[in-house]
Amino acid sequence: MTSQRHNARVTLRDPILASACGESVRVVDASVHGVRVAHQHLLTDRDRCSIAFDWNGREIEFVGRVRWTRLQRDGSAPSYQSGLEISAIDDRSTTALHKLIESHVQRALEEQKANARGIATDIGDRTQPMLRARLYARHELVDGIWRKSMTNDAKQPPAGFTVPVDERPDQVDLLRAAYAAADASLRGMIRKIAEISIADPDATWPNRFIP
């Protein structure tokens, strides 16, 4: 049964907000081999597309290859769906991805059993209480090394900054360089600017702190 669950492709009842190739996307189904995502803009780096998302407090990150992209015409604005095949993933993310798949397979089995007994079900996914929360990227400077993590908490860390998960990679690089070279006062300003970017996604980043 475990092998069957790990090899399954599951459609997510509630798509998960993620970042892929620097774009904001939603994961709509998943397997141990890859994911299918919905997005508004074409994914650029198709051979090495980094994707990251949070499921039930577990961070899942991998590098994938965009195998296909299809234009969707079911709305007023054009949208796309793409299939990403995993090419590099660490053990932690592999374990979390397996847990995600197993939880959906288990839920489907429970619903099938209930339906067979004539019991109406509205199980939902109780294991994903934070899916509708916005996702952020936390960048922390620890012993001179930057560490990135995905979080649903918009708070700024003591050493580093938190920004929207879809913040442009070049802007994040500038923020990291500026923060690493800054004194305590300027670091506080960078965290404040990052906080504003979360409160107002359309805010324009000032350039005065760029080293």
Most confident of 80-84, 177-181, 196-200: 80-84
In terms of domains, do 46 and 102 share one?
yes
Q: What is the pTM of this model?
A: 0.56
155 occurs within a structural domain: yes
Coil, strand or helix at 202: coil
Round to whole Å and give the CA distance between 66 and 79: 16
125 occurs within a structural domain: no
Residue span of the structural domain in which 34 resides: 2-116
In terms of domains, do 58 and 101 share one?
yes
* Token digits of residue 201: 């996604």
Q: What is the pLDDT of residues 71-113, one digit of tens each?
A: 887 666 678 999 999 999 999 999 999 988 888 877 766 765 5
* Token digits of residue 10: 């599951």
209 occurs within a structural domain: no
* Token digits of residue 166: 């879809």
CB 209 within 8 A of CB 186: yes
- Quick one: pLDDT at residue 134? 72
In terms of domains, do 90 and 140 share one?
no
- Quick one: pLDDT at residue 8? 65
In terms of domains, do 163 and 191 share one?
yes
44 occurs within a structural domain: yes
CB 137 within 8 A of CB 143: no
204 occurs within a structural domain: no
Q: Which residue has the higher pLDDT, 67 or 208?
A: 67
- Quick one: pLDDT at residue 91? 94
Round to whole Å and give the CA distance between 135 and 126: 19
- At residue 7, does pLDDT exceed 70? no
In terms of domains, do 7 and 84 share one?
yes
* Token digits of residue 125: 């996914």
> Which residue type is seen at 64?
G
Q: Which residue has the higher pLDDT, 85 or 153?
A: 85
Among candidates 157, 156, 160, which has minimal Cα distance to 145? 160
CATH for 66: 2.40.10.220
The residue among 57, 85, 116 that closes a domain is: 116
Confidence of residue 124 (pLDDT cuts 50, 70, 90): very low
> Phi/psi of residue 81, each to 5°?
-130, 140
Q: How many domains does the chain have?
A: 2
> Which residue type is seen at 185?
S
In terms of domains, do 74 and 140 share one?
no
In terms of domains, do 103 and 162 share one?
no
Among candidates 74, 100, 72, which has minimal Cα distance to 14? 100
- Quick one: pLDDT at residue 109? 64
Mean pLDDT lowest among 77-81, 140-144, 145-149: 77-81
In terms of domains, do 16 and 89 share one?
yes
> Phi/psi of residue 196, each to 5°?
-65, -40
Residues 6+ apart with CB under 8 A from 114: 120, 121, 123
In terms of domains, do 103 and 61 share one?
yes
- Quick one: pLDDT at residue 127? 38
